[in-house]
Structure 1
Amino acid sequence: MLLTKGLLAVDVLDVVGPGTSRPAALAPSATSEKGTDMPVTVRPDELAPLRTVMRDLQLSASRYYAGTASSEDLGALVREFITHTQTVNDWLTNAVGDAASYKAHFGTPRHLLADYIDANKYVRNVSQHVMHIVSPDDEVNLVGGTLGMRLYAHWDEVPAAVHAKLRPGTQSLRPAYDAKLFGKEVMSTMMEVLRFYADVVPDVIHRDLNGEWTGFPLMNQPGMSHALHPEEPSDSAEARAWMDGRRPGGSSRVICGQVTVEDRPYVFGFTFDGRHSFAAFSETIEQVNHDISLGFPYFSGDLAANVEGANEAFPDALQGVVLASREEVSSWGTPVTRVHVQGDWSTIDGEGWSQFVGLENKAIVPISMRHEIRRARRLNALTPPSATRR
């Protein structure tokens, strides 16, 4: 990777340092159809324990998804998830001061996602009280190719003989299991459980230092449109507005140039998560300035002199180039406070940036493909599981 001379038309801070502010939380989706006006009140002394068990639940969902792209036992990962789901459910039902508000979501009117909690409670009781191994159906769908393979599994049937051994209270939950889980793709139902808790007890969602949900977004799977984030709206136009309204994924970005595509200027560069980059990015000038206003750090700097290729360290990063910064990006990058429109320029040799930008912006590219590419880059959903375990 070589540098060419180019002028960066940006405002920069006089002082360079690592003290970039981080938000307490990213803004949730404003387009949910499952919203509630009865959130559970969580006391300060309840918050830390609840966030801990919620972290366990979030990570179990993320681990399950990662397992669908590896040789892990999906049944064990499913059982881990239902155990953590019931822990959160038990605590909110029996241990918190405002348990009445939580229980009200299972009454009349009933929360649209409450059946997913009852369904998980049913199958957790099956696993705990009957000698029956809860596991996805043996018949799975395998998708993917050179950019990564993934299994899509479905909830299996609970045999009548197993159901008959359950207590009447658990048996009464069987309709919820049959309606919401049986035959459904497993990861999509896990996301509904997370959406339920995000709606009724939003304060307990566990977030990382960047304000992002711990364990999310999930890694992009080319050609698949399933949600990568619990807050992600299902409608692509609403999802685009949601993505553009929140901070980008990752911890920082390094600007490497500007290119004009169909008469509109775009900034491009690389998104970093700590010292590693798994994805390049492109944004309009307006979008970059909006991100900066939200507190997201953009930098300018000598990228080629400070990074090296690192694909060999991440064998599951199959969808792009991996870069490793030798030091923290803030130690060699200059913070950018505003980007201005100017002619095309680049600090990196290469003729492909116009095509790179066009893949998510040109009208000739199918809308579904543009959305998938935009989502993967904007959410930084190309970070592989091997990176999150470090």
Structure 2
Amino acid sequence: MTKPLDGMLVLSIDQAVAAPYCASRLADAGARVIKIERAEGDFARGYDHEIKGESAFFMWLNRGKESLVADLKNPDDLALLHRIMGKADVFLQNLAPGATDRLGLGSDDLRKRYPRLTTVDISGYGDEGSYAKMKAYDFLVQAESGLISVTGSKEEMGRVGVSICDIACGMFARTAVLEALLLRARTGEGSQIKLPLFGGMTEWMSPWLLHQAYGVLKEQRIGLSHPAIAPYGAYVCAGGDMILIAVQNDREWRRFCKDVLGDEGIADDERFRTNTDRVANRGAMNDAINGVFGTLSRDRVKDKLTAAGIAFGAINSVADVLEHPALRQVPVETPVGTIDVVAPPAQFVGADMSFGPVPSLGQHSDAIRAEFSEG
């Protein structure tokens, strides 16, 4: 079955998360992705050994690729890369700052040499200013972008538990590549794309940055509550079980008080009439809710919320999510056998939902060298 990027060739010198994420999702869409690895391999291969001795991170980020081991300081291997580049549609890389320029693979030169090629340079902070040469990893960018300052409890900041800056950058990169390919279809010219991790995360931080610049930035670090909407957070039911509820407007609030708390009069309390009032008096509001929820089992609370049409969710563990009825998974072949991975969230109805295998280190080196040999 035809996929959207069938016939496209992507050359990717990628490692860790951001660039591999982009390249793997281009492979999902049908692109042929040649991944360049050093002799010891992408260091993400060693992040963990949880899948029969192989890395869960690497499996997640590298399905559908071909692995070519190459020494970028070897003139013959560099010549091989240029021969591949001459036929490629996209060149993607996230090496350390300045590394591609030193190798003669800088995007300025490549764009002149291969006009139809789109180049994608993923960095930490861009290539201008005092941060241009700084190495950047997800945790560091979470800190630099202000994300950590709005994450956690009032008493303690916290790291977001997934590589959110890397993933955001990889998603933006994929979108930019698709836009570049559409543009090339009209102009015949590739594009030069530069993407910093910092830029991806500050884009997602926009509401708080705008509050800071033009209004009043209220306290954001309030644990399992929403900083701007109330009630929107975790509450304790009888037996200590927790449930997350979300009341979006004053109409829902009144219905929540009447049908769930059993006291519509709470909605008319001057401390709780509007969302702004409820946020300002969050402690008293929470006492009123916990006073009722603490007498009811979580199942009973769920029943009452469902009948009232109030949104709620369980605070699941990772183990719980593996059993979640909404979780979709697809099989992927790996060097250690078939594993089930999370399916992409966007579904093309009726389209092929199969993905290429995860490569072993250097699995395709001989075949690629033969295919792109001189002459």
TM bin, normalised by shorter chain, reads under 0.3
TM-score, normalised to structure 1, is: 0.20
TM-score, normalised to structure 2, is: 0.21
Q: In terms of Rg, which structure is larger?
A: 2
For CA contacts below 8 A with separation 6 or more, give which structure has more relative contact order: 1
